[in-house]
Amino acid sequence: MQSISRFHQFLKLLPRGAFDKAVERYNADRYCKSFDSWGHLVAMVYAQVSKSSSLRDIATGFNAQSNHHYHLGAGRLTHSTLGDANKRRDWRVFGDTARALMNMLKPKVRREYSDLLFLIDSTTVSLKGRGFDEWAAPTKVRSTQGLKLHMVYEHGSATPWWQSMTATNVNDLTAALPVPIERDATYVFDKGYYDFNWWHDIDAEGARFVTRFKMNVKLEVVAEREIVEADEGVILKDQVVRLTNRRPGGGRYNRYVEPLRRIEVHRPGDTPLVFASNDLNAPAAEIAALYKERWAVELFFKWIKQNLNIKKFCARTENAVRIQVMTALITYLLLVLEQAGKQGESSLRTRLNELTATLFERVGRREKTTESRRRRTELRAFKAGQMDLAFA
The residue extents of the domains of the chain are 6-92+308-378, 181-185+196-284
* Cα–Cα distance list, 374 to 228, 344, 380, 381 (Å): 58, 19, 10, 11
The predicted pLDDT at position 239 comes to 97
Higher-pLDDT residue of 218, 385 = 218
Q: SS3 string of 100-119?
A: HHHHHHHHHHHHHCCCCEEE
Region 257-276: what's the mean pLDDT? 95
CB burial readout 269-305, b (16+ within 10 A) else e = eeeebbbbbbbeebbbbebbebbeebebbeebbebbe
Higher-pLDDT residue of 1, 251 = 251
- pLDDT (tens digit per residue) in 357-368: 999 998 875 554
- pLDDT (tens digit per residue) in 173-212: 999 999 999 999 999 999 999 999 999 999 999 999 999 9
Q: How are beta strands 117-126 and 186-188 bridged, if at all?
A: parallel
Mean pLDDT taken over the chain: 90
Query: For 181, phi and psi rounded to 5 degrees?
Result: -95, 130
Is the pLDDT confidence value at 379 over 60?
Answer: no
Q: Closest Cα partner for 107 from 387, 337, 367, 355?
A: 337
- pLDDT (tens digit per residue) in 27-71: 999 877 789 999 999 999 999 999 998 999 999 999 998 888 888
Region 319-345: what's the mean pLDDT? 90
CB 150 within 8 A of CB 134: no
CA dihedral 288, 290, 292, 297 (to 10 degrees): -160
The residues pairing with 238 across neighbouring beta strands, listed in sequence order, are 263
CB 331 within 8 A of CB 44: no
pTM value is: 0.88
What whole-number distance in Å separates Cα of residue 294 and Cα of residue 283?
A: 18
Q: What DSSP character marks residue 2?
A: P
- pLDDT (tens digit per residue) in 80-125: 999 999 999 999 999 999 999 999 999 999 999 989 999 999 999 9
Q: How confident is the model at residue 3 (pLDDT cuts 50, 70, 90)?
A: confident
What whole-number distance in Å separates Cα of residue 227 and Cα of residue 287?
A: 13
Strands (E), 88-158: 117-126, 146-154
Measured at the alpha carbon of residue 37, what is the angle toward residues 83 and 165, in degrees to the nearest 5? 75
